[in-house]
Amino acid sequence: MPSISARIPDDEDATLEEVAELLEEDKSTTIRKALQEGLRDIRVRIAVERYQSGEVSVNEAARIAGVSLGEWFEIARERNLTSQLSPEDLEADAESAREL
């Protein structure tokens, strides 16, 4: 596993310490979990933005978010997403979904 070094402000270190204690874990494990959750959130946010703008299809949004098509549909439902895609794009997405 690669090692990465980072400097954080004192107040964030204190928060990290508190969260690690709440989770009953060491700081390194807490950082790994926070990074994993944060990266997932960023991927989902980018996928939502691009899907909403019509830049990407349902399949591409799911790929960007790093989730299955079913999980993407759940994310879209939870966020009340609407698409700017054409009927042809939606039909292609539906066809891809049927193939799964």
What is the C-alpha separation between 87 and 32, in angstroms, rounded?
Answer: 42
pLDDT in tens, 44-89: 999 999 999 989 988 999 999 999 989 998 999 999 987 666 677 6
Cβ proximity of 60 and 42 under 8 Å: no
Sequential DSSP letters for 19-34:
HHHHHTS-HHHHHHHH
Residue 99 binned pLDDT confidence (cut-offs 50, 70, 90): confident
**What are 16's two structure tokens?**
């990290």
Residue 2 binned pLDDT confidence (cut-offs 50, 70, 90): confident
Q: Does the pLDDT at position 9 exceed 90?
A: yes
Residue 100 makes CB contacts below 8 A (sequence gap 6+) with 69
Does pTM top 0.85 for this prediction? no
Which of 98, 46, 37, 40 has its CA nearest to residue 69? 98
Q: Does the pLDDT at position 39 exceed 90?
A: yes
